[in-house]
Amino acid sequence: MRTKTLVLAAAISAASLATSMAQVYSVNAVGYVNVTLKKGYNLISNPLNNGGNTLNEILPANTPLPEDTYVVAWDTTRGLTGGPGQQSFFFPDGGWDNDIVLPPGKGFFVYINPQTAPQNTYTITFVGEVPQGNLNNPISGGSRYNALSSQVPQAGKVSTDLGLVGMGDDILMVWDKNANPPGFGNNYYFLLDENNQPLGWSDLNVLVEPTIGVGDAFFLFRAAAGTSNWTRTFNVNTP
C-alpha cells in the first residue's frame, strides 16, 4: 500500500498529524496550517486554497507580522533565468499594499527586518481548503529557476512522497532559515546513469532525497528546455 505522510487528514479518519515544520488540524478538507518565520528571509508557500489566494486573503491584516515585513514573489520569466517579481509591504492592521496572488505550489519570500522586529520568531496561520483532484504545477525549463512547493499540505521526500519527477541536470536548492544569515543550505542534483536512466537525487557524495516540510518552498533549476508539470492526483480520503 502506498504510504502518504499526510499532515491534513479527512474528518472520517478523525486524525491530525504534526510535523516539525508545522501543525495542521482538519475538518473534512478544510483546515489550517501554522508556519513559523524567523528574522530575515523565509522561503515558504501557501499550503491551502483560500478564495483567490491573494495576500490579503491568505495572510489578512490581523496576521501577527511586524512593521517592515514584505513579500517577494518569484518570476520565472524575468531575466535569463528568472528573478524576483512583485513585492508587497505589510502594514499591521492595514494589510498588504499589493495584493499578489500566491496559490499553492508557488514559493515566495517573506522578509522580516532583523533590525526592527521585536520578536525572534513569528507564527503565521494559513486557513483554507486542501487542493484535491488532478493537480498541475508548471515548471519552466530552459535553464530557469522555479520557486516551488507541494500543492498538497503534505511533508515528505520530494519525489517518493510528493511526486516531483526529476530530469537530468536538475538542481534542487533547499533554503535554511536557521542559518545566520538565512540562505540556501543543501543542494541536490538529479543524476542519470550512463544509459540516461534516472538514478535519483544526490548531494554529489551519496544518493539522498530531499525532504520538504509543509509550508516550505524550494528552488528548482531546470536545464531541460520547455515547460513541464509537477502532477499529483490527490484526495484526502485516500490512505
Tens of pLDDT, residues 78-134:
999 999 999 999 999 899 999 999 999 999 999 999 999 999 999 999 999 999 999
Burial class (CB in 10 A: 0-12, 13-18, 19+), 99: middle
Co-location of 146 and 120 in the same domain: no
Residue 161: inside a domain, yes or no?
A: yes
Residue 15: inside a domain, yes or no?
A: no
What are the cell numbers at 226?
A: 520547455
Domains of the chain: total: 2
3-state class of 11 per DSSP? Answer: helix
Residue 7: inside a domain, yes or no?
A: no
3-state class of 133 per DSSP? Answer: strand
Encode 78-90: b = buried (16+ Cβ within 10 Å), e = exposed: eeeebeeebebeb
Contact indicator for 32, 125 with CB cutoff of 8 Å: yes
Q: What is d(CA 6, CA 239) in angstroms, rounded to the nearest whole number?
A: 9
pLDDT at 166: 97
Range of the domain at 178: 133-234
Tens of pLDDT, residues 127-155:
999 999 999 999 999 999 999 999 999 99
Res. 25: pLDDT tops 60: no
